[in-house]
Structure 1
Amino acid sequence: MDLKKKGFQLPDNSQFDEETLTSTYGRLVAEPLERGFGTTLGNSIRRVLLSSLEGAAVTAVKITGAVHELSSITSVKEDVVDIILNIKKLRVKMHTDGKRIATIKVKGPGEVKGYDIQVDSSVEILNPEQLIATLDKGAVFEAEMYIKKGRGYVSAELNKEEELPVGMIAVDSVFSPVRKVNFWVEKARVGRATDYDRLVMEIWTDGSVTPKKAVSQAAAIVTDHMRIFMLEQDEENAEFEMSSSEGLGGDAPVFNPNLLKSVNELELSVRAYNCMRNADIRIIADLVERTESEMLKTKNFGRKSLNEIKEMLQNMGLNFGMKIDREMVNKMATSQVRSVGQDAS
């Protein structure tokens, strides 16, 4: 459905303020919007950002010398409750699925901090200066932690449902990578009319995901849920759905427009981008046709780059090794170019 032809005012664009954009903060503006849509979209995206994005967190802790949460540990300033509270403040990023085990072993005197945690290459501690415990002279602090991916808030009771070894204490987990979201709606002008909306959003993340990626993921989640309410479609929508389905087979019922994007939009490292260029990978459709093993055979392309790109593709609803109908991709690309040309005229 072409909403512009039906008189709807759609936003010209939505963009982040590049001057203030960081890996943990972003200010997004979308305008102009039909009156009321600023609040509608702002509320929806804000709720999804705070509750539905995937992140990683500690789910259980085992501290040598502690039988339960009310225990105290010899020569350690904090009791177990305070230590667990400090551990829950750790911000974590995982590059793989499944459970990972992290360990700590520190001798006093001194402070135990996030950088003392021993993890494998698939896990990053994003706030290494986070205090965990304070040790007196002669104290030895040993701990083991389970780290997993999840969404939103999960209570210790739910984390207990997994079979835990003796001495392992389940903790509350906050998986959401988004720490805070503000939004407000201002007046926007279109010609002489001033009753349109201008949506402004501020997003703070923990660094495991950028504000841009967070908003993209939230928008994708909202879009996927809205599709179920398309109970009746006009001929234009039905024709597009049918042609898109034929183009991608059974794996994806709707053509994914991300396939037409340039790989430049993936925010790759210089090394990874050069690998793509040398392998003649120009758009994302070229990329997803390759299998993971094929990508690893690319000169100078390593496992770390593979995992980063894999995560980006998953956020777009794509993955490696997809079967792509090149005829359909070319047809959609041509249609996109025509649309841009018509808008320009």
Structure 2
Amino acid sequence: MVEKERQVRTLQDSIILPRIKNTKTQDNYASYDIEPLEAGYGVTLGNSLRRVLLSSLAGAAVTSIRIEGVQHEFQDIPNVMEDVTDIVLNVKQLRLRSFSDHPVSMRLEVSGERVVTAADIMAPSTVEIVNPDLHIATLDNENARLEMELVVETGRGYVPADSKEDQPIGVIPVDAIYTPVQTVNYTVEHTRVGQITNFDKVILEITTDGTITPDEALRQSADILVRHFTQLANYRAVLTEPEKAPLSSLPIPQKIYDTPIEELDLSVRAYNCLKRSNITKVGQVLSMNEDDLLGVRNFGEKSL
């Protein structure tokens, strides 16, 4: 057994582990070469990382807005060029960092003839607006006024607005795009190790929204996969003990079942214990297993 385990460890140690190299970084884009990988591992690794990068990283997004004087998203706002639907579409593009585990409110209060951008939003210290130049609306009159409350929440993936039911009148739900990763692509090529040419090489490309760097996104996604595989690596089969059978596994005739326990040759102690637990018939005793009987108060092993 020990020799077999040693052989398995030797085979595992012979698997070549890959190196990772950042080949290009530009703004929120980065490209990585991951090599060498055992034949077939390229697709396995690339697809796993891509899925986690796009679906499982946490982020922040606006989940609802309330505009002063507006009851629903199909309403026009006086002296504002965009209708509410256009403003909602613009708000969806807000990219945020939130350092709070709870919903947080931001305020927008502007007036006069002007262009409104994300820089005009008043955010608390727990929220950072990453794209302050984002266009929100255009006020086309000196008498124009726009007041808005925006609720920011953290989450994962994508949550459509229509999943938020029972909103109060005047609260407009917004599609929440939490994921900080915009695109992920990977390709698998052959690479050489010494004279062997059937190893895989993964070229991984990541583009984020600026709330995290591609390096951070890659580390977080790898950490999620590692934590899942650690659960598998630490798996140990747990054998469950079979339930103890009742004292009698055969059908009990009604006549025997209804026999009073007084007719059994019981000690006074055992009789009193059963009686106090409202066990008065032979059938009740036969339907119990040893653990059940030992669970009766003061009914010890000697009584068995």
Compute the TM-score of the two structures, normalised by the length of structure 2.
0.71
CA shift in 2, pair 1:131/1:37, >3 Å: same
Per the TM alignment, residue 36 of structure 1 is displaced from its structure 2 partner at its CA by 1.0
* Bigger CA radius of gyration: 2
C-alpha distance in structure 1 between counterparts of 2:22 and 2:151, whole Å: 36
Which residue of structure 2 lines up, in the alignment, with residue 52 of structure 1? Answer: 56
Q: Which runs of 4+ in 1 moved over 6 A?
A: none
**Alpha-carbon distance between aligned partners in 2 of 1:47 and 1:184, rounded to the nearest angstrom:** 14
Question: Does 1:35 find its partner at 2:42?
Answer: no
CA deviations 1:195-253 (Å, max 9, x no partner) are 111111111111111111111111111122223444767xxxxxxxxxxxxxxxxxxxx
- Of all paired residues, the percent bearing the same amino acid is 43
User: What's the secondary structure of 1:21's corresponding residue?
Assistant: strand
Q: Distance in 2 between matches of 1:35 and 1:96?
A: 44
Aligned length: 229
Query: Partner amino acid for 2:15?
Result: F
Q: 1:7 aligns with which of 11, 14, 20?
A: 14
* Aligned-partner Cα distance in 2 for 1:67–1:130: 25
* Mapped pair 1:145 → 2:164: no
What's the Cα RMSD here?
Answer: 2.0
Alpha-carbon distance change, 92 to 65 in structure 1, aligned in 2, over 3 angstroms: same
TM-score (norm 1): 0.63
> C-alpha displacement at 1:165, in angstroms?
4.3
Q: Distance in 2 between matches of 1:22 and 1:232?
A: 42
Distance 1:188 1:3, change over 3 A: farther
Q: Secondary structure at the match of 2:216?
A: helix
* C-alpha separation in 2, matches of 1:202 and 1:54: 19
The secondary structure found in structure 1 opposite 2:25 is: coil
Residue 5 of structure 1: how far off its partner (Å): 4.8
The code of the aligned residue for 2:180 comes to: P
| Deviation (angstroms), 1:66 | 1.4
User: Partner of 1:176 in structure 2?
Assistant: 179
**Which residue identity lines up with residue 10 of structure 1 in the other structure?**
L
Q: How far apart are 1:170 and its partner, in Å?
A: 1.1
- The alpha-carbon deviation at position 15 of structure 1 amounts to 2.6
Amino acid at match of 2:173: A
Equivalent AA in structure 1 for residue 63 of structure 2: T
Higher strand share: 2
Aligned partner of 2:90 in structure 1 is 86
Q: Identify the residue that residue 155 of structure 1 maps to in structure 2.
A: 160
2:28 to 20, 24, 27: 24
The alpha-carbon distance between structure 1 residues 3 and 148, as it changes in their structure 2 partners (threshold 3 A), is: farther
Change over 3 Å in CA distance of 1:3–1:62 after alignment to 2: farther
